[in-house]
A and B are shown apart, each in its own frame.
Chain A
Amino acid sequence: MAGLTYLKSVVTLELSADQCTGCRMCTTVCPHDVFVIKEKRARIVNRDACMECGACAQNCPGDAISVRSGLCGCASIFIRGQKHGRMTRYFFRMWGYEV
């Protein structure tokens, strides 16, 4: 998707090649073409395009992929939709204070 990439080097996507079975499932489910299969193993080639939807991790039979997914983890989690005071706590945690 030319022109629209989000922040660089923030994605939590991790792939452990040892556990990869080469089943290609990650390349099938990824909506942003993050993976390729090379030498029967998955590889991350388009890391910054990852939107952390978690589809790959869900569908990896070898549990080789981990990602902190939050598909709908929109900014609204900061603004609304949390129990009273939750937002404030989020903010404190973001800057390293435990509340």
Chain B
Amino acid sequence: MIVFGIFTFESSRKATQEMDTQSCRDNELQKNQECCCRAEMKKPDVPTNGIKHGLRKGKQEDGQHWIAGYVDTPVGRIPRIETTLQFKDRLGSWKARWSIGRMDYAVDPGLYAVGDPDPKSPVFVSANYKMSFDVLRSHLKGMSAWVLVLDTKGINVWCAAGKGTFGTDEIVNRIQQTGLSEVISHRTIIVPQLGAPGVSAHRVKEQSGYRVIYGPVRASDIPPFVENHFKTTPEMRIVQFGLIDRLVLTPIEIVSWGRRMFWGKHGLVLILMLLLVSGLDRSGFALKKVLILGPEALLMYAAAFLCGTFFTPLLLPWLPGRALSVKGAFLGLLVVLGVGWYRWGAPGGLGVKVNILAWLFLLPTISSFIAVTFVGATTYTSLSGVFKEMKRAVPAYIATTIIGVVLLVFGQFA
């Protein structure tokens, strides 16, 4: 249970530091703090009115490379953005995937131009997470359009929509602040479909007079969507969770769980404890034993980590069960059974066998627990499902952790 205790402690501190008064639709669940989707709410910076553009906070010097000139409009000069991603953009996305500079990877909200837009050109709405912005602009090649970037505090469209920052109010405000109505003659905006959980099309219409058209889920479907007279086909509306979609999410799992389990403060404590336990002996403590059993224990620990952070997301559709906890536990079990099959008869007598039994409880628990936290990154899990799953899984985790730890210690003296 130490593991769980530490997580609670760490998180609670973070949360109190970064509490935000973001309103949420469900009072019971305040969906406003640090989340797997990096949706750690921040206080907004100086309010931007659509005139100042570029990256925020000291990133000005290299943040403008995607602006290629300006377009004159009745509300002033609007930056024209590149539609070809440069190495810098790809590197930035890659770094964000690995949690490097991810919390400050944002562009300024406001109005941008693509190509040579005129008052009749379509308006695409996006979030101010740089990766979202990049994906959108890279699929507007050869088009003339306007891009209205909302202030989502540097969070992607879907997660921001879930928290209401990509929402009706922000759209209405941003339309007013940028003076969009003076720039364009029509009154239609194209909102990504995944923004719909935060946006209420009929309320936007009521409050601003603008009609919301929901565009495709994937930005890559924008060219066919435009060709199809701004209508989505059923395929464009379905969200997928393919191998690549899952694969790109694993780095952030590895980094965030690696911090908790290995190189973070609490991770180091856990590892130290693991090494200490592996040195326990009938005579008390033997350093020699640490050198032999320590690496073995760390390997099992690392295997649990890899099962949960990498292999479960990767093999998701092929693992048995619907619950992610089951999927994660299954993979962990496979590993222990494999190791057990190989090591059961190894010299060392009862101690080895009890040790394997201990990991039979511990390893699946760890990998299952990590796997459960992946629900926040998936595109198909429901909150009610998570409730149900946690309700059953947590007592099991508590039990297996206690049994596992007892066996682990007992095995040292056997």
Q: Footprint of B on A, CB under 8 Å?
A: 1, 3-8, 10-12, 25, 28-33, 49-55, 58-59, 61, 68-88, 91, 94-95
Contacts and interface: CB of A to CB of B under 8 A. Distances in A.
Contacts of A95: 391
A23 to B, nearest CB: 9
B372 interface: yes
A74 B376 contact: yes
A74 B386 contact: yes
A72 B163 contact: yes
Contacts of A74: 35-37, 373, 375-377, 386
B198 A58 contact: yes
Contact of A84 (B12, B162, B201, B378): B12
B16 interface: yes
A9 to B, nearest CB: 9
B25 A80 contact: no
Interface string B6-17: 011011111110
Interface in B1-41: 4, 7-8, 10-16, 19, 25-26, 29-31, 33-37, 39
Interface in B376-414: 376-391, 394
A94 to B, nearest CB: 5
Interface string B101-143: 0000000000000000000000000000000000000000000
A94 B391 contact: yes
What 9 A-B pairs are tightest by C-beta distance, nearest first? A74-B376, A80-B11, A71-B162, A70-B383, A81-B33, A55-B196, A3-B317, A31-B239, A73-B383
B382 A52 contact: yes
B240 A5 contact: no
Nearest to A31: B239
A33 B237 contact: yes
Contact of A68 (B8, B241, B383): B383
A59 B14 contact: no
A28 B237 CA distance: 7
Interface of B: 4, 7-8, 10-16, 19, 25-26, 29-31, 33-37, 39, 158-159, 161-163, 193-194, 196-202, 214, 217, 232, 234, 237-241, 316-318, 322-323, 372-391, 394
A7 B379 CA distance: 14
A4 B241 contact: yes
Contacts of B318: 3
Nearest to A54: B197
Q: Is the interface of A mostly helix, strand, loop or mixed?
A: loop
Contacts of B16: 83-84
A46 to B, nearest CB: 11
Contact of A10 (B11, B194, B232, B382): B382
Nearest to B39: A72
B385 A82 contact: no
A8 to B, nearest CB: 7
Contacts of B374: 75
Contact of A33 (B10, B33, B234, B390): B234
A7 B322 contact: yes
A79 B7 contact: yes
B380 A51 contact: yes
Given A32-B380, A72-B39, 13 more contacts: A7-B322, A10-B382, A25-B201, A31-B193, A51-B381, A53-B162, A58-B200, A59-B196, A68-B383, A72-B159, A72-B162, A80-B8, A80-B34
Contacts of B8: 79-80, 87-88
Contact of B159 (A54, A69, A71): A71
A30 to B, nearest CB: 7
A69 B388 contact: no
A58 B39 CA distance: 21
Nearest to A33: B238
B358 to A, nearest CB: 24
A92 to B, nearest CB: 11
A38 to B, nearest CB: 16
A81 B199 contact: no
A31 B376 contact: no
Contact of A75 (B199, B201, B232, B390): B390
